[in-house]
């Protein structure tokens, strides 16, 4: 083995070797490390160099020092209890799902006895500071796994994915090979919305969604399969970069003659809900009488509504907890499925579940 001459290099070597011992089970959580004198001989270093390496491990959460007793392996090691959520640069003024994800992380840290750290504005480029910081944290075994709330476009060619350095979960259908998936069941969302409309005697549906052509075509099919009608001009795509346009589009749609005007609206993105509902208000129609609206939300943090809409959405805490449990199962070799589907829930179901959990 090549000699390590610099003090920093020796510290890095000691820290890496002791982490390797922990990961191989040579020393277990709660176990005391060998005495400093033993470690000095093993690594052939001075007491100061060894102390600096141990202090680094302590800062990173791998060990704890008890005065007059020694240095012990942490009961909760970073690579078993810490998780990173990786977010790209925000391309619009706000993203409700990301905000709710942060709130869910705070709650889950206590519930699952874990630590969840957010890496923001990460670009899949070697010279990107945020990406370099993430890579270094992974190399230092600081996380059990990574969660990508957005499609991993560009990351498939990075070492994080190519070298399978760490378990990764991404939220979305099209992901690189080897990446686990948590999927929002969008088809079930539309199916349940249609069932609610049929119960209320509605016939003509409009959809206000993000511009995903393939998914919109499937939404139209599902609506028609449920015996409801949707005209081509009622399948509307609105960019999240320009959500204000949802208000104008909705107003125009609801000002059509009665025979052409939809009596049911599905809003599939909570970033569009407030804007689309302002268009409903402008139209002067009575929600609940003239039409019904199913509005997407991220439970348990729903968008305030000035009209009586039917809220249907996905439990953000369930999404994040499912991601974490998949990572843990992958690390322990007990992973049964690489894909988990999250089903949508109506507000009444969320409330019932909350009461059941309290009891």
Instruction: Walk me through the domains of the chain, giving residue ranges and CATH numbers.
Output: 7-75 (1.10.10.10), 79-185+318-358 (3.40.50.2300), 186-314 (3.40.50.2300)
Q: Determine which helix (DSSP H) or strand (DSSP E) holds 293, and give its type and residue range.
A: strand 292-299
Lowest model confidence (mean pLDDT) among 4-13, 42-51, 201-210, 342-351 = 4-13
Which residue from 100, 340, 311 is spatially nearest to 192, judged by alpha carbons? 311
Does position 92 have pLDDT exceeding 80, yes or no?
Answer: no
Cα torsion through 162, 168, 172, 178, rounded to 10: 50
Residue 321 has pLDDT above 90, yes or no: yes
Evaluate whether 117 touches 61 at the Cβ level (below 8 Å): no
| pLDDT value at residue 164 | 80
Tell me the C-alpha distance between 83 and 147, whole Å: 8
pLDDT at 3: 53
Give pLDDT, residue 42: 96
Which residues partner with 264 through β-bridges?
A: 205, 292
Assign 4 a pLDDT band (cuts: 50, 70, 90). low
For residue 198, pLDDT over 90 is answered with yes
Write the CB contacts of 234 (distance below 8 Å, at least 6 apart in sequence). Answer: 204, 205, 206, 207, 253, 262
Is the model's pLDDT at 11 over the cut of 80?
A: yes
pLDDT, tens digit, 9 for 90 and up, residues 227-267: 999 999 999 999 877 888 999 999 999 999 999 999 999 99
Is it the case that residue 213 has pLDDT exceeding 70? no
Res. 5: pLDDT tops 70: no
Q: How far apart are CA 67 and CA 315, in angstroms?
A: 45
Above 60 in pLDDT, residue 123? yes
Span 81-85, average pLDDT? 97
Alpha carbon 317 to its chain's center: 9
Residue 263 buriedness (CB in 10 A; 0-12 / 13-18 / 19+) = buried
Q: What is the average pLDDT across 61-85?
A: 95
How far is the C-alpha of 234 from the C-alpha of 263, rounded, in Å?
A: 11
Question: Mean pLDDT over residues 325-339, rounded?
Answer: 94
What confidence category does residue 1 fall into, taking pLDDT thresholds of 50, 70 and 90? very low
Average pLDDT over residues 142-155: 92
CA angle at 219 for the pair 279 and 246, rounded to the nearest 5°: 20
Residue 301: the pLDDT is 77
User: In the chain, what percentage of residues exceed pLDDT 70?
Assistant: 95
Residue 2 pLDDT level (bands cut at 50, 70, 90): very low
* Whole-number CA gyration radius for the chain: 26
pLDDT tens, residue by residue, 95-120: 888 889 999 999 999 999 999 999 99
Q: What is the DSSP string of 186-210?
A: HHHHHHHHHHHHHHTT--BEEEEE-
Is the pLDDT at 210 greater than 80? The verdict is: yes
Residue with tokens 């939809």: 262
For residue 117, the Cα-to-chain-centroid distance in whole angstroms is: 12
Q: Are 275 and 94 in contact (CB under 8 A)?
A: no
Q: Is the pLDDT of residue 351 over 50?
A: yes
- Relative to beta strand 345-346, strand 310-315 is antiparallel
200 to 171, 194, 205, 313, 348: CA distances (angstroms): 33, 10, 12, 19, 17
CA-to-CA dists, residue 91 to 18, 169, 239, angstroms:
42, 22, 11
- In whole numbers, what is the pLDDT of the chain averaged over residues? 91
In this predicted structure, the answer to whether residue 218 has a pLDDT above a threshold of 70 is yes
Cβ–Cβ under 8 Å, residues 161 and 176: yes
| Average confidence (pLDDT) over 323-335 | 95
Lowest mean pLDDT among 211-225, 278-292, 334-348: 211-225
DSSP string, 31-71: PBPPPHHHHHHHHT--HHHHHHHHHHHHHHTSEEEETTTEE
């Amino acid at each position: 083995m090549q000699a390590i001459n610099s003090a920093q290099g020796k510290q890095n070597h000691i820290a890496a070797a002791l982490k390797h011992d922990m990961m191989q089970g040579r020393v277990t959580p709660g176990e005391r490390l060998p005495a400093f004198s033993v470690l000095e001989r093993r690594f052939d270093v001075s007491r100061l160099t060894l102390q600096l390496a141990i202090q680094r491990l302590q800062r990173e959460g791998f060990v704890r020092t008890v005065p007059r007793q020694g240095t012990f392996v942490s009961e909760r090691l970073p690579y078993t209890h810490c998780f990173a959520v990786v977010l790209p640069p925000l391309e619009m003024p706000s993203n409700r799902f990301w905000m709710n994800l942060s709130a869910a992380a705070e709650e889950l840290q206590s519930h699952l006895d874990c630590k969840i750290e957010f890496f923001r504005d990460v670009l899949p480029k070697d010279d990107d500071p945020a990406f370099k910081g993430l890579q270094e944290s992974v190399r230092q075994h600081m996380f059990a796994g990574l969660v990508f709330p957005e499609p991993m476009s560009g990351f498939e060619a990075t070492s994080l994915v190519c070298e399978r350095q760490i378990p990764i979960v991404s939220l979305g259908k099209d992901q690189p090979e080897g990446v686990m998936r948590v999927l929002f069941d969008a088809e079930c969302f539309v199916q349940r919305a249609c069932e609610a409309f049929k119960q209320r005697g509605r016939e003509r549906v409009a959809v206000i969604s993000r511009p995903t052509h393939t998914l919109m075509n499937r939404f139209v099919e599902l609506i028609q399969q449920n015996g409801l009608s949707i005209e081509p001009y009622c399948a509307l795509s609105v960019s999240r970069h320009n959500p204000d346009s949802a208000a104008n589009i909705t107003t125009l749609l609801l000002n059509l003659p009665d025979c052409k005007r939809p009596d049911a609206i599905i809003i599939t993105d909570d970033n569009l809900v407030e804007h689309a509902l302002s268009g409903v208000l402008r139209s002067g129609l009575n929600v609940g009488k003239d039409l019904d609206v199913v509005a997407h939300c991220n439970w348990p943090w729903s968008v305030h509504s000035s009209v009586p809409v039917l809220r249907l959405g996905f439990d953000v805490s369930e999404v994040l907890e499912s991601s974490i449990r998949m990572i843990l199962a992958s690390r322990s070799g007990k992973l049964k499925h690489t894909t988990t589907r999250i089903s949508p829930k109506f507000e009444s179901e969320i409330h019932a579940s909350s009461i059941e959990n309290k009891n």
